Amino acid sequence: MSGDTIFGKIIRREIPATIVYEDDLCLAFRDIVPQAPTHILVIPKQPIPSLADVTAEDKAVLGHILITIKQIADQEGLTEKGYRVVTNIGEEGGQTVFHLHFHLMGGRGMHWPPG
């Protein structure tokens, strides 16, 4: 199941992406415009527009995604030095693709606050 966004097309393999992990609930692939040496997007296969749209029924998939992010960070060798996980929500949050996604970024020092 997937929504009508570019990420839905990636889930359905209608456009290519460098996929690093997939299971029944989620997909992880490299960002096309990486903002860090490692920049991976982790998304539910279910087409939830953003974190603002989740409900209690999404508890299992959200927990699964966070644990998956931790596992991918381990596999990518990011855990020792650290990394950042971000989800942008809505216009002022800087969201451009309205299919919930978590940015996993690492491989360089991060700054705070972000822009």
Write out 10-39 in H/E/C secondary structure: HHCCCCCCCEEEECCCEEEEECCCCCCCEE
What are the structure tokens assigned to 88, written together?
């942008």
Residue count at the site for ligand 5GP (CB under 6 A)? 12
User: Contact letters (x/-) for ligand 5GP, 17-36, by CB under 6 A?
Assistant: x-----------x-xxx---
Residue 82 contacts ligand 5GP per CB under 6 A: no
Of 39, 64, 101, 111, the active-site residue reads 101
User: Contact letters (x/-) for ligand 5GP, 41-80, by CB under 6 A?
Assistant: x---------------------------------------
Contact of 99 with 48, CB cutoff 8 Å: yes
- Kindly report the length of the chain: 115
101 labelled catalytic: yes
Beta strand 38-44 with 19-22 is unpaired
- Residues marked active site are found at 101
